[in-house]
């Protein structure tokens, strides 16, 4: 994938979340996502960036345009070098999210996006990736 398709936003403060949202929104609009999908993508960026600040103090959001043969999409990757998640399965359950079962946080991002993955190692950090495809 060409580097020009990628945007990296370091997340160290709330104002960085705004920058990540802005860049994600612009990229998603350029890719042809509908206005409501753009809102969903911005929301996913917010939730992932908020997680970085809450659990790892800092990290990075990477936004990537995906140009396949038949479809276009956007990949959001949030990575940190924080404490990691001991029980990923549990972290993905609504009952254990800080939103108290309302479906926000990581489970909320999973529902807004088409593909979702999470890799974590205790003491090394966490990488969450979420992809949304432009409906054909």
Partner 1 sequence: MGNSEGCCAWAGVAGAGSRRTPVTSISRGATPLNRQTLGDAYVLALEAYLACPEESALSGAYELGRKALLDGLSPLDLVSLHASALEQSLSFSQGSNRPVLARAMTFLLEALSPFEMAYRRFLESNVALRGLSEALENQSRRTARQIHDGAGQILFSLQLSLAELMAGLPRHWKPRFDHVMQLADHLDQQLRSLSRDLYPVALDDLGLNAAVRHLLDGVATRARLKVSFQSSVPDRLPPQIAIGLYRAIHEGVTNVVRHAHASELCVSMQKDRDGVVCTVTDDGVGIDNTGNQPAGLGLRGIHDRLKGLHGGLEVRSTAGNGTRLIITIPVAIGEQSDGN
Q: Where on the chain is the footprint of partner 1 (CB under 8 A)? A: 32-37, 39-40, 42-43, 72, 94, 102-104, 107-108, 111-112, 134-136
Nearer to partner 1, 19 or 39 (CB): 39
Nearer to partner 1, 13 or 34 (CB): 34
Q: How far is the CB of 94 from partner 1 (least distance, A)?
A: 6
Q: d(Cα 38, Cα 24) in Å, to the nearest integer? A: 8
DSSP β-ladder status, 6-11 and 59-67? antiparallel
Q: Please say which residue, 82 or 97, places its beta carbon nearer to partner 1.
A: 97
Q: How far is CA 85 from CA 5, 56, 88, 120, 128, in A?
A: 29, 10, 6, 6, 11
Least distance to partner 1, CB of residue 92, Å: 12
Instruction: List b or e across 94-111, with b for residues whose CB sees 16 or more CB atoms inside 10 angstroms.
Output: beebeeeeeebbbbbbbe
CB of 123 to partner 1, least distance (A): 30
CB of 112: closest distance to partner 1 in angstroms? Answer: 6
Nearer Cβ to partner 1 (85/113)? 113
Q: Are 120 and 84 in contact (CB under 8 A)?
A: yes
């Amino acid at each position: 994938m060409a580097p020009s398709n990628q945007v990296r936003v370091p997340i160290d403060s709330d104002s960085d979340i705004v920058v990540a949202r802005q860049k994600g929104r612009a990229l998603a609009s350029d890719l042809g996502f509908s206005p409501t999908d753009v809102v969903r993508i911005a929301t996913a960026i917010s939730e992932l960036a908020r997680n970085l600040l809450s659990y790892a103090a800092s990290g990075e959001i990477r936004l990537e345009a995906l140009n396949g043969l038949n479809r276009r999409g956007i990949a959001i990757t949030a990575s940190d070098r924080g404490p990691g998640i001991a029980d990923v399965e549990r972290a993905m359950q609504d009952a254990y999210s800080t939103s108290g079962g309302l479906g926000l946080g990581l489970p909320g991002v999973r529902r807004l996006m088409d593909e979702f993955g999470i890799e974590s190692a205790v003491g090394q950090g966490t990488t969450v990736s979420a992809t949304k495809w432009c409906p054909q």
